[in-house]
Chain A
């Protein structure tokens, strides 16, 4: 993605921030490393001159983060569970993204905000399912962990996600995001599986980004969509490469990424 940014004399901040999704992943890796006491063998994406924190030289990660815009993360370690710290980073990423998107000129803003809203809505829905079924939280406790700025219809759908009985096939089918679960609602259904829902959401977002890439030409929308497509592809490629390194058969790789 950096080569796209290099075309700009002064790259638009929204594009740089989109690319920095990988930097957020770097920070998450470091945070996990610190929490588990294992800072060797971390996979660090190098964003070159577009990085806001120098982690690629593999030196003192903690010190590097302490001197970066991500310094606020370090005091949270040890006081919050790791999952919540990672959640804070996600929320920070999307909050900044929305700030930058709203500041764009009108012609650039429409496509970017639309794509971002769709992504944030799905991220929140998946988080809601995770929080309910993995972390056993109720709606009130989960509210503070979701990304803000979503529409009222999304907020009410998320609230419903905490109210529908877990084994209610009808309830989930009628839910606004029931399509994320439709392949799960068989006779043996007992509760939604957030992981499979997330795979569906990722595929839907990929389709959405693919569509956005072809809309609103000569605006920043297609570029943001392009970055999102690369982000998703990079993630799939990363899984594939690592799975192959572990000698996982190809079909199994497709199965576990939900593409089987």
Chain B
């Protein structure tokens, strides 16, 4: 499809009792972009609140059972009977309650035992019941620690004033002194950075005995927890699928509720308004009619019928349906800008240009194969860290670019930077096709060939620039902006100037000469650019003819001509980089093999040689692959897109509910 997809605006009125079914159907169809706006004063109903609450509780249960968050949405019962869902959800929650409570109790117990053990660990060396230490009247006891190296000093300095009993941990001790000696004790201890530990308030008994008992109790608790874990596993085995299905259904309901909040409704009628691709209208309407058994009212509008669209207050969302390959280049276009509705979709052109330019700059059968392998790996979905790239369809980009690189690599005769490995194959093919064997189909050796190659890339640039110009002329003409279509730098005038200059250049390269007629033909588009304002004002009847006076008119005209000339020169010369990077690739490959040859004769040379080839290729693939990609994207952004992207459209963003595997 050359242009963006034709769209329709659709307005649906359904009974509220049918709203969930209709929303589900539209969500599964995934082809309607809803026109939403926050509805003032709308509060969730009891049913909606209950659904949301049940979803949260089931999510907690799934988490409790160790079910991953992914995959819930893959299955569902496809029922929208909320009562039935709620009943099932409560049933499963009730049956898991004992298990949840038991685990919670045991975890609490384990935590409490661990905390108590940690607390008591400081007193593990104390052989006196804690209650005795709390009941001292004549003695003062301090338990705590100083830096281990200070403990002997503490013992010495307290001397006979206090008894110091070292405890199990380094630097920990218990000091006993008469109550009247507590000032001396505290004073000496604080001077040495004593960290006191308070006696646990609620515990009695000898700490070492208590610790042993706690360890036993902890072990018993762990055993019970293991048993609970087994029960959880059994419960999960029995209910996982049902739970996942319920979660998926509730998730759908909650999503639909959230969307419904942004749609207009009355007490019994729900209004659903949105944009839909024209080709999907019949099937969607037929489906909805059958779903609601005719209890539905639908109005479909063409964008041309809508005043808001005509007045430019509303933009029609842009859908550009593509096949797998072209779709993988969508992000490249949309990250720059979105085409306006009804204009030419540049994505297929971008796909072709990207692949072509990449292949010219990065031609190598082996390195291209690495790209193909990476693309296949991403598309296979087997590498979890590549999942985000798979979703964005980047695997296909790698695959296509890799294949193109392999093809151009065959023309260059390069395999993992080696220029000789492919020679037999190339000779065989060229003998077959040309009748005489060649070592390389394209050999970038010799001044003349290199100049020719530079000319070839400028030719590619001319084609790309021309496509950009044509797209702009067509787009502007379709929008009725004839001034931009004809009299602008990137319109027909600019294009005519550019193309005729190319024609003269080709003719002169072929041995021709510049003629007077050439100057006349070149003057026509340049004069059109110069007199643009005057022509437009004459045709439209605008007065005064020269808005800012004659001098400004002349200056602007001259500037416009100069700017247009520079623009086309720079846009053409810019494509020299394609040849330059292709040569850089060849040079880098040569360097890798020169280095490998240099170490080849040394002891263990073969291993070093292989190492250099592997590392060299890795550097070329990563570094040059990245640079070449950036250059291709840059050429497209500045040389191609700049010709026709001068206003941004709105991307079509349909309401999508994931179709799921049905559980019965």
Contacts and interface: CB of A to CB of B under 8 A. Distances in A.
A134 B163 CA distance: 20
B161 A246 contact: no
A247 B184 CA distance: 22
Interface of B: 127-128, 131-139, 141, 160-163, 176-178, 180-181, 183-184, 187, 201
Contacts of B184: 134, 193-195
A258 to B, nearest CB: 7
Given A134-B187, A246-B132, A255-B163, 7 more contacts: A43-B137, A194-B184, A235-B138, A246-B136, A256-B161, A256-B181, A257-B178
Given A193-B161, A257-B178, A246 B128 contact: yes
A119 interface: no
A198 B182 CA distance: 12
Q: What 10 A-B pairs have minimum CB-CB distances, sorted nearest first? A: A238-B138, A43-B137, A195-B184, A255-B160, A239-B138, A134-B183, A195-B181, A41-B135, A242-B139, A252-B163
Contacts of B163: 243, 248, 252, 255-256
Contacts of A41: 131, 134-135
B136 to A, nearest CB: 5
B127 A243 contact: no
Nearest to A40: B134
A245 B128 contact: yes
A29 B593 CA distance: 92
Interface of A: 25, 29, 38, 40-41, 43, 83, 130, 133-135, 193-196, 198, 235, 238-239, 241-243, 245-248, 252, 255-258, 260
Given A239-B138, A239-B178, A247 B127 contact: yes
A120 to B, nearest CB: 17
A257 B160 CA distance: 8
A12 B233 CA distance: 83
A103 B285 CA distance: 116
A248 B126 CA distance: 12
Contact of A43 (B135, B161, B162, B178): B135
Contacts of A256: 160-163, 176-178, 181
Contacts of B161: 193, 195-196, 256
B141 A246 contact: yes
A200 to B, nearest CB: 13
A239 B139 contact: yes
Contacts, number: 71
Nearest to B165: A248
Nearest to B137: A43
Contacts of B138: 235, 238-239, 241-242
Contacts of A194: 183-184
Contacts of A247: 127-128
Contacts of A133: 187
A73 B162 CA distance: 31
Contacts of A135: 183
A235 B162 CA distance: 16
A246 B183 contact: no
Contacts of B177: 195, 256
B160 A258 contact: yes
A254 to B, nearest CB: 9
A6 B133 CA distance: 35
Nearest to B133: A246
A260 B160 contact: yes
Nearest to A135: B183
B183 A242 contact: no
Contacts of A40: 134
A74 B93 CA distance: 58
B518 to A, nearest CB: 105
A238 B127 contact: no
Contacts of B183: 83, 130, 134-135, 194-195
A198 B161 CA distance: 11
A41 B177 CA distance: 19
Contacts of B136: 242, 246
Most chain B CB inside 10 Å of its own CB: which residue of A83, A194, A242, A258: A242
A1 B135 CA distance: 23
A242 B127 contact: no
A41 B130 CA distance: 12
Contacts of A130: 183
A168 to B, nearest CB: 20
Nearest to A241: B138
29 contacts: A25-B137, A38-B201, A41-B131, A43-B135, A133-B187, A134-B187, A194-B184, A195-B180, A195-B181, A235-B138, A238-B137, A239-B138, A239-B139, A242-B136, A242-B137, A242-B138, A243-B176, A245-B128, A245-B132, A246-B128, A246-B176, A247-B127, A248-B163, A248-B176, A252-B163, A256-B176, A257-B178, A258-B160, A260-B160
